[in-house]
Structure 1
Amino acid sequence: MGAQISPGFASVILAGGTAARLDGVDKASIEVEGRTLLARAIDAAADATEVVVVGDAVATERPVTFTRENPRLGGPVAGLLTGRDALLGTPRSVVVQACDMPWVTGTTIRRLLQAGAGREGAVLVGPDGRRQLLFCVDVSALDRVRPDREAQHGAALQPLLRRWDLVEVPARGEEHRDIDSWVDLRDLDS
């Protein structure tokens, strides 16, 4: 019998970036196959005990908590920590996902949690070996390396990820693809 998935994970969805390469369009509202990117990210987090979206509040089919980093547009580390602070419960782990990865599913998240069992977490890796903005991390590990409020604004995510013992999980199919530009959106199905 394989390792068991840790019970009680929460999801933090990062949906509050500038989308500079998309001319400032709200990424969360972009539709792919009839569903917004935010709705798809929330669908992928269906097994979570709670979902926090770091971004502007919009109507959703599932109850979620919306929050914003202060000051706004602080980047993924500020978004992650703001999302952590907004959690109502105390989960064992947190799954962090960018809202612009339309092919991430609940199966993807379960694979990460399974792979990260017994370690501090797991991160999705694309075919090029690049770590994606989709990972799970034990809350205790996150809280141990938490930068102070001033240091988190504008901080890069990769140095923070390197501080944890994360299993790299190869993406299957298109899970690793994100939408950062109009070209990415155009080429989504290719």
Structure 2
Amino acid sequence: MPFDAVVLAGGRARRLGGADKPAVPVGGRPLIEWVAAAAAGASRLVVVGPPRDVLPGAVLVREDPPGGGPVPALRAGLAEVRAGRTALLAADLPFLRPAHLVRLLREVDAARGRDGAVLVDGDGREQWLAGCWRTDALRAALAGYGGSSLRGVLAPLEPVAVALPDGPRPPWYDCDTPEDLARADDLAGPGVL
């Protein structure tokens, strides 16, 4: 299942005091490296955000305007996608693994009349930055969208909701606050790599 991955890594991280969240270590490894490892099967890894030297071989692009939010970031990243399927990921998912993306891609391929698949958290909420999509559908949705909400772009595509066992390290777990990071660091103990 060939796919490209677009990782959004340009947020302002207000709840982290403006820190470079993708570079923050969890389990001794920057968050963005965890996500890149999960997308290791991608034909192309596109990282949208400020320049960083942590991912050799990645295509680095910047949204316009810089810090403009997830919709401009998706536009910038999608311009670099060549594959028929796109994994759209946040840069702060330390427990996402390649098997999770394989599952999402299979769901996209199996879905009739659906153009994507997203992980849902333990409460059943869609995780818009943990999904896989038909690239042409993403492009069409963006072309006709003038808003700023990622949900506004993606929800009309009616993705398959994929609930995975969350266990102690749920694949949809993201790190938005210092408490989230501390918990992730505790959960990422020995044997997680």
TM-score (norm 1): 0.88
Q: CA RMSD in A?
A: 1.6
Unaligned residue ranges in structure 2 (runs of 5+): 188-193
Residue 33 of structure 1, CA deviation: 1.0
- Partners of 2:78 and 2:139 within 8 A in 1: no
Residue 86 of structure 1, CA deviation: 2.4
Unaligned residue ranges in structure 1 (runs of 5+): 1-6
Pick from 181, 186, 190 the counterpart of residue 185 of structure 1. Answer: 181
Report what 1:156 is aligned to: 149
User: Matched residues in 2 for 1:23 and 1:91: separation?
Assistant: 36
Residue 186 of structure 1, CA deviation: 1.9
1:172 aligns with 2:168: no
Report what 1:51 is aligned to: 45
Distance change in 2, residues 1:61/1:26 (3 Å): closer
1:104 aligns with 2:96: yes
Say which SS state the counterpart of residue 168 (structure 1) adopts.
Answer: strand
Q: State, as a whole percentage, how many aligned pairs show the same letter.
A: 34
Deviations 1:119-161 (A, max 9, x none): 3110000011111121111011112211468x35xx1111212
Deviations 1:5-47 (A, max 9, x none): xx32000000000000000000111111111011111111100
User: Matched residues in 2 for 1:43 and 1:186: separation?
Assistant: 21
Residue 172 of structure 1, CA deviation: 2.9
User: Matched residues in 2 for 1:167 and 1:126: separation?
Assistant: 13
Report what 1:34 is aligned to: 28
Report what 1:142 is aligned to: 138
After alignment, is 177-186 or 16-25 more displaced? 177-186
Amino acid at match of 1:128: D
Pick from 65, 70, 75 the counterpart of residue 69 of structure 2. Answer: 75
How many pairs were matched up? 179
